[in-house]
Chains A and B, each alone.
Chain A
Amino acid sequence: MLPADCSRRLVAELRDALDACAERQRQLERSLRVSRRLLRTWEPAETPAPQPTPAPETSGEAPSPESTPSPQDLKELELLTQALEKAVRVRKGISKTGERHKALSLKSGSAAPSATTASAPSQASGQASCRVSETKPPRGIQQTVVPARGLPECRLLSVRDRTRVGRGSRAIKPGPGPRDQQIPPSAALQAPEAFTLKEKGILLRLPMAYRKAASRNSRLWAQLSSTQTSDSVDAAATAKTQFLQKMQMTSGGPGSGLSAAAVEAEVGLLQTACSLLRRRMEEVLSADPADCMQEYRCLLTLEGLQAITEQCLHRLQELRAAVVGQQLGPWPVGRRPGASLPCGGGTDPIWSPQLLLYSSTQELQTLEALRLRVAMLDQQIHLEKVLMAELLPLVGTQGPHWLALCRAVHSLLCEGGERFLTVLRDEPAD
């Protein structure tokens, strides 16, 4: 059994580590739930979302002024509609599939001369016609625009945007006047065709309100995080410094200038310093000096490192004295100690939008795996240090069950708890 205070400390550390891990797991589970749900078949929406790009439930309306199609658009629209009619016929197995499909894709390709992706229109029309055949056949082609779902068909329609056939989803819906039909929302929900991201994700389109808000958002963030140096900014900065000084002066004492948070931050920096110094020392010791000059430099470096270490230790003592003597209050137990962050972590810069481009799922997986591995190693190193500090002294003092303790400590400290050594009693054979 371990002594009580040692037990308490170690169990607390390990529980901290477990909690941190559990928190990550929780967040990850949340994201997984959302992603899995997105990749399944989408449930039909209860109420179709009110969209700024007009909802098809209001299909009876005439096209709004901004989406009045030009004569050329109408002509292209007519062509496309005919192509879709053909597609329906093809689908119904009236004619040979192969050539017709080709002809169809060619036709829709020509109907949309400015289509960016030739495959998209044919694919879209293919899919649309697919829907047509499965939903209300008697209604004819106009059903290509029948909504299967409240939301997705809005996006379906907007594929036409991409092929530049109609301007705005409304343009297609009513089409040329006589074909105008009302499609009640209830009919929309009857369609059995389900929406899956895999098949129809490419047809999705973000609503206009969101697009505007998002672009405004990123613009504002960019403005906020840009470092401006104008007169007003400088004047404000000076005013702030002066204010702080006055605050300090009126506080009735010189003050140490050290806050508990600052002390904690410095201890963290000294931790980083220690690892950097150690790394440099190992570099020097492992290097083979080729000539006198290099030998001399090695010597100087080692002595210089020694001096810096002394300075760090000295600073650490000062900090300790500050906390105790100047009554800074309880040591803040905030962030997890022991992390030697490459970015310092102290100054938090203003967030600004940044992109990280990846090219394949494998790459992303590698990236994430490495990131987790680095975090895990950080934690392991911290635990290793804590365990060393607590357990090695116990092994030094021989108590009862010393062998068992020794073996357990060896496994914890030297093998990460994964392997055990064997101890044999060396009995002289006689």
Chain B
Amino acid sequence: MGRRRRRVDRGAAVGALPEAIAALSRTLPAGPSPEIFRRAKFDRPEAAPALWQLLFRVLSPLSANGASAPAAQEAQVRVVKSELHSQGYPRRALAQLPEDGSRGSRELLLALAWLLARGPLLERLLAQTRVRLGDEIPLCECEALARPGPPVPRVEADGPVDIRQLQWLMGKLRFQWRKLITSQQEQCALLGKIHSYTRGCHSDRSLDHLSVAETELLRDAEGGQQMLRRLESENVRLEAALHWRRQELVFWRWMDTVLGTCPPEASQPTFVPRIPERGAGEWELVARELQALREELRGAAEPRRAAWEARVGGWGPEWSAVQRASREAVGLELAALQRAWERGGAAAQPHGPCRLVKSDAGASGGPGLRAAQVIEVLRSREACLEAVLCQLQRQCRQELARLAGALPGLIWILPPGR
């Protein structure tokens, strides 16, 4: 991989660059050789296809990766362009590259470096494709949301639809959930059995029993070998990632030179802004909610302010010190509240999938979360959500009552069980 390729006239730093790039490409899926990178610096066309493919693998969602045959060149190019654009890639030259994927290797190299610089790209890719050795349970739904399932080709309802179809769909959804919950309970029972039957079999003391994947490895030798191979190749990639981390500085210096060889950007292309309905609908929902909230707050605060002013009007200056203290305290509380969503919430909260381990209740103080704690958190979250749902339903009921009240001569009998 060009590790020993050292140019005589430059120093040792040059030798480190191919090494760093080699480590980078070992970590990436479908990583091209360092030679491709070198050619890309000089914008050689033969380097372009490999880089298009690399970016496609990096940017397309996981489901598309595992799915069918690799997309055609044009499709790959389009996906890469649109994904980079939506992530805010600043250079416009990318959008102007031809769709047959024959040119633009330097621009692609810059795009790759941009993605690497912005966030933990390699770690995220590795985490997406990691071999799951244990029985995992996600603690929060963000992974499920971030990885949408394969897109289902769906026939949209074209014409007007009867409301009974909506009712039918809702009923179907309720039934699906019930089925899901029962299946899940069965799976838990089976897991519990497997964990207890294999107690003490694991070499790692903290794990104590085997997981389904490990037991499957023992049952099915062939599959076990495959898993072992995948695990070993993942180890190779992980080591390459650590190696890259140690050496990436030299890469960034080199990228500065690559950027230097680019001509400055020219004019702006025009984009036709299209806001698909669904996306705008989301914005609408949030806007509507915030507006409703604002109205409610105004309705609550104004009368209180008026009443307060009326009471406090004649009070003396010694009250103002107390007022100031109150204002500060409330200010601090509200600032804390704002931080709760601005910083992305309780980042300290454990996040991401955990490996399930069955152990005795007495094992306290060891590493890992306890199911009881997680259950508590989930219960409070459930209560919260139920309150929100009830409140929404109450709102609807009031609104409908108001609308129905406009029509006299009818008796509305609410369903029982309330």
Contact = CB atoms under 8 A, between A and B. Distances in A.
Contact of A343 (B90, B142, B156, B333): B142
B350 interface: yes
Interface string B263-292: 011111011011111111111111111110
B96 to A, nearest CB: 12
B399 interface: yes
Contact of A422 (B86, B120, B413): B413
B218 A206 contact: yes
21 contacts: A2-B163, A7-B159, A8-B157, A21-B180, A49-B225, A210-B214, A220-B242, A232-B249, A243-B259, A260-B87, A281-B297, A293-B322, A334-B148, A350-B120, A352-B352, A356-B139, A364-B192, A368-B185, A372-B181, A408-B166, A416-B170
A48 B222 CA distance: 10
A411 B227 CA distance: 51
Contacts of A155: 201, 218
Nearest to A11: B157
Contact of A38 (B216, B252, B259, B381): B216
A382 B304 CA distance: 33
Interface in B338-392: 338, 340-347, 349-361, 363, 366-372, 374-375, 378-379, 381-382, 384-386, 388-389, 391-392
B393 A247 contact: no
B127 A350 contact: yes
Contacts of A232: 246, 249
Interface in A358-409: 358-361, 363-378, 380-381, 383-389, 392, 395-396, 398, 403, 405-406, 408-409
Contacts of A139: none
Nearest 8 pairs between A and B by C-beta?
A259-B88, A344-B344, A252-B265, A331-B279, A355-B368, A49-B221, A361-B192, A201-B197
A369 B382 CA distance: 11
Contacts of A8: 156-158, 161
User: Per DSSP, are chain A's interface residues mostly helix, strand or loop, or mixed?
Assistant: helix
B176 interface: yes
A341 B371 contact: no
Contacts of B82: 329
B264 A370 contact: no
Q: How large is the interface on B (under 10, 10 to 19, 20 to 34, 35 or more residues)?
A: 35 or more
Max chain A Cβ within 10 angstroms of own Cβ: one of B90, B363, B410: B90
Contacts of B67: none
A252 B118 CA distance: 20
B224 to A, nearest CB: 7
Given A8-B157, A424-B411, A381 B275 contact: no
Interface string B180-208: 11011111111111100111111110110
